[in-house]
Structure 1
Amino acid sequence: MMTDSRKAELESRLNEAIIQLQQAQKSLRKDEFTHASIFIGNAQSQLPKMRIALATQTH
């Protein structure tokens, strides 16, 4: 069972990944491709850990 504090932590990390993707989108619109790729990389590095944490939870 996941605790409320763990849920809050994962939600916070997910929100950070979303922000990184939004920043990538803004950079892409400004033709700042290097910046966009960095933001995407930041989000990409966070997602596998969150996926594992969620996939290993029991109901």
Structure 2
Amino acid sequence: MIIVGAGVAGLSASLASIERILERGTDDARIAVLERASRADRGGNTRYQHRHLPDEGRPHDQR
């Protein structure tokens, strides 16, 4: 299986595939995650998610 993109969706798909392979008891499957972005730019839109998370553990509305 080839998964394109190393953001949350791509990595979740790869993990789900690995779990399914293990459940079936097969060991002949291969999974490749391909990412075009540079190491600094990896993560797709997930890279921007930190902007929507609380700072220093404080809820968003208390900043």
TM-score when scaled to structure 2?
A: 0.39
Radius of gyration: which is bigger?
2
Q: Considering fraction of residues, name the structure with more helix.
A: 1
- Relative to total residues, which structure has the larger strand share, 1 or 2? 2
